[in-house]
Amino acid sequence: MSRPSLGRGERPGSSLTGGTPAVLLALVGALAATFVAAVTLPGTAIAVAGTAALGAGTVHDGRRTRLAGGALLLGAVAYGAYGGLPIPAVLGGAVAALVAIDGAERSVALDAQVPDAATFRLVLQRTGTTLLVATVAAGLGYGAYRIGSGQAPAPAAAFLVVGALLSAAALR
Amino acid sequence: MSWHRTTTDRWRWLVPVALVLAPVGVVSASPAVVLCAVVCVGVAAFARASPAPEPSVDCERRFRERDDGTVAVSLRVENDGSAALPDVRVVDGVPADCTVLDGTPELACSLAAGASRTLRYRVDAPESTRRFDDPFVVVADRAGRVELDARVDAGADRLGSSRPLPDAEPVALRPPTGGPPGPLTGTEAGQGLAFHSVREYRRGDPLGRVDWSRFARTGDLSTVTFRAERAPTVVLVVDARPAAYVAPAPDATSARDHAVDAARTLVTGLADAQVGLAVLGSGVSWTSPGTGRTHRARLRRQLDTDPALVTPPEGDDPAVAPLATTLRARTPADAQLCLLTPLCDDAVASLARRLDAGGTPVSVVSPDPTTTDGPGPQLAHLERGARVRDLRRAGIPVLDWTEGDAREAFARAGWSR
């Protein structure tokens, strides 16, 4: 079944329709992640490249370009840890990058399906959910790290990741 | 209704990203990098754990014609299921050639169990029937990982009448006395162009109407008045009684349907007049005279949907006297009637004479369904011819329409200019 869509600009309406609100949220997220990652020159370059790829993939509906942009943004934020960023800032950057990726994906879908519908509220709800989930995950991870007084060996954290992956697999 | 499932796997790629970040963090002894992997895994796990929606969506579309010639369309979307639908996107199936004037036929929202939302928009009233497709509904889960889509039945899907009104030249009824269609010049003074009289000036008369020449000659102020102009009022009376449901052959178009075609032509041809419509079936179905696009659309709808005009008539012919009484009571005082009938019985000819004698000018448009194949049909043909002659002798103009379409018949008879 082909999905019908209506051409943008054919009808009068608010400017916050279709994918526009999601694009704005994605832009905010990408800028925040870039800001966090901009502690080293390589980190800044990677973050800018990621933001550009995310934007290009959104405008031209290239899923691989978007995913590459998202991965670059996350990588840039992680690279910021080597520039001396505190852990909360790195986690905040990671959450912002995930919000940017979510907004970009959502904007493409909304633009294709309901380009003239008012979507601001829906985007706030759905991307807000992503923000909440990522923040909770970051908070739990950071809490676990702090409970271990920050002295827990890195392999322990790796085990935590593996355990989370296994939990995710069990939920399939 | 079957839902088509699409898995977007929007967050699946986060797992390999996490599997890269975690070892890198371990090797470089960077807890921050490992915690980035934890965040990625958390979001991916949430997406995987989000239950796929089980939608039960009900849609109801309504059309409401407005006075400005547009149609307000509302589509109510209701979540009939017991679970909330976090992400619902709806696109109504507006026909491609229907212009949306206001609002949007699209909706994006979340719906709690039992909740509903209504999208509203306005389209131009089409000249002919347009069929709306069922609305396209997409339902996604909280993380946007799974999307289900389907076309949901919305009930009403047809907008407008079945046929557009035909193009027609202006038509003049009762050509000998009625004159061409357009503003009629009345006998009383009022707004117009034709000179009526000169009277003494009254305070408040516009200065442009003062006869200054007379004032210069005599010193007396006087005011020039003109004849009032008004649009003629015509009521089309379509004979849909069983007696009018006759055709020259079993598979031929009935005289009633020819009369409906003539009425449609007249609605267009009498564009300068106030046109009303009466359908004579078992009773009188009445639409008051009026003008304008919306009114013409109303007439067109009645001509296309009135049960007396679209279904074969049943039962006996109704008595003519009550029909005449009803018509006389409803017809405006200055209106003329145009009776569209095959004149296949004496009752309808009597009706025309009674109405005309009562002071309402009547003209008759009569499609001829009779043939001369055999003695019976020939007798009916002769009787109808006698009725046509009788009416004409009574001063009632009759358009005896034997062949061609209504437009040609009006042109041949000199009724259209």
Q: Is the pLDDT of residue A26 over 90?
A: yes
Q: Would you say residue A14 lies in a domain?
A: no
Q: What is the mean pLDDT of chain A?
A: 83
At B79, is the pLDDT very low, low, confident or very high (cuts 50, 70, 90)?
Answer: very high
**Which of B42-56, B164-178, B366-380, B382-396 is the least confident region?**
B164-178
Q: Would you say residue A7 lies in a domain?
A: no
The total number of structural domains that make up chain A: 1
Q: Is the pLDDT of residue B182 over 70?
A: no
Residues whose CB falls within 8 Å of the CB of residue B38, separated by 6 or more in sequence, listed in order: A137, A138, A140, A141, A157, A160, A161, A164, B18
A150 touching B, CB under 8 A? yes
Residue-number span of the structural domain to which A143 is assigned: 20-170
Chain A neighbors of B17, CB-CB under 8 A: 71, 74
User: Greater confidence, B315 or B40?
Assistant: B40
The β-bridge relationship of strands B130-131 and B158-159 is: antiparallel
Closest CA–CA distance from residue A32 to any residue of chain B (Å): 16
Which regions of B201-283 does DSSP assign to beta strands (E)? 222-230, 233-239, 274-280
Residues whose CB falls within 8 Å of the CB of residue B403, separated by 6 or more in sequence, listed in order: none
**Which of A154-163, B89-98, B325-334, B363-372 is the least confident region?**
A154-163
- Write down the pLDDT at residue A170: 55
A13 touching B, CB under 8 A? yes
Question: In whole angstroms, how large is the CA radius of gyration of chain B?
Answer: 34
Say how far apart CA B46 and CA B43 lie, in whole Å: 5
- Write down the pLDDT at residue B324: 86
Q: Would you say residue A51 lies in a domain?
A: yes
- Write down the pLDDT at residue A161: 63
A168 touching B, CB under 8 A? yes
- Write down the pLDDT at residue B413: 81
User: Which DSSP category does B402 fall into?
Assistant: -
The fold adopted by the segment(s) B233-413 is Rossmann fold (3.40.50)
Say how far apart CA B110 and CA A125 lie, in whole Å: 9
Q: Is the pLDDT of residue B231 over 60?
A: yes
- Can you tell me the ipTM of this complex? 0.83
- Write down the pLDDT at residue A150: 55
Q: Is the pLDDT of residue A18 over 90?
A: no
Q: Is the pLDDT of residue A164 over 70?
A: no
pLDDT cut 70: percent of chain B above it: 89
Q: What is the biggest distance separating any 2 CA atoms in chain A, rounded to whole angstroms? A: 60
Determine contact, residues B88/B138, Cβ cutoff 8 Å. Answer: yes
Can you tell me the mean pLDDT for B81-95?
Answer: 91
Out of B86, B93, B149, the one facing A1 most closely (by C-beta) is: B149
Chain A neighbors of B33, CB-CB under 8 A: 78, 81, 90
Can you tell me the mean pLDDT for A108-135?
Answer: 91
Domain ranges of chain B: 4-49, 57-159, 183-230, 233-413
- Write down the pLDDT at residue B74: 92
Can you tell me the mean pLDDT for B351-371?
Answer: 89
Burial of B290 (0-12, 13-18, 19+ CB in 10 A): middle
**pLDDT tens digits for B291-333?**
887 788 788 878 877 888 878 888 788 888 888 888 889 988 8
Out of A77, A155, A164, the one facing B42 most closely (by C-beta) is: A164
Closest CA–CA distance from residue A136 to any residue of chain B (Å): 8
Out of A106, A117, A121, the one facing B104 most closely (by C-beta) is: A117
- Write down the pLDDT at residue B312: 83
Short-list A40, A37, A68, A36, CA closest to A52: A68
Q: What is the mean pLDDT of chain B?
A: 84
Say how far apart CA B68 and CA B120 lie, in whole Å: 17
**Which of B96-100, B151-155, B347-351 is the least confident region?**
B96-100
Can you tell me the mean pLDDT for B21-37?
Answer: 88
Q: H helices within A38-153, ranges in order?
A: 41-59, 63-79, 87-113, 120-147
Scored b (16 or more CB within 10 A) or e, B168-204 reads bebbbbbbeebeebeebeeeeeeebeeebeeeebeee
Helix H or strand E encompassing B32:
helix B31-49
Question: In chain B, which among 59-118 make CB contacts under 8 A with chain A?
Answer: 86-87, 89-91, 93-94, 100, 102, 104-110
The β-bridge relationship of strands B146-151 and B222-230 is: unpaired
Q: Which CATH class is domain B57-159?
A: mainly beta
Q: Does B143 sit within 8 Å of A11, measured CB to CB?
A: no
**pLDDT tens digits for B245-290?**
888 888 888 889 889 989 988 888 887 788 999 998 888 889 999 8
A95 touching B, CB under 8 A? yes
Q: Is the pLDDT of residue B158 over 80?
A: no
Chain A neighbors of B30, CB-CB under 8 A: 81-82, 154
Out of A119, A136, A152, the one facing B108 most closely (by C-beta) is: A119
**pLDDT tens digits for A27-75?**
999 999 999 999 889 999 999 999 999 999 998 988 899 999 999 999 9
**Which of B156-170, B215-229, B394-408 is the least confident region?**
B156-170
Q: Would you say residue A5 lies in a domain?
A: no
- Write down the pLDDT at residue B180: 39
User: Greater confidence, B3 or B159?
Assistant: B3
Q: Is the pLDDT of residue A152 over 70?
A: no
Can you tell me the mean pLDDT for B196-210?
Answer: 83
- Write down the pLDDT at residue B298: 81
- Write down the pLDDT at residue B181: 38
Can you tell me the mean pLDDT for B92-97?
Answer: 86
Q: Is the pLDDT of residue A11 over 50?
A: no
Considering only alpha carbons, which residue of chain A is nearest residue B86?
A126
Q: Does B31 sit within 8 Å of A140, measured CB to CB?
A: no
**Which of B115-124, B169-178, B279-288 is the least confident region?**
B169-178
Out of A12, A78, A165, the one facing B36 most closely (by C-beta) is: A78
At B410, is the pLDDT very low, low, confident or very high (cuts 50, 70, 90)?
Answer: confident
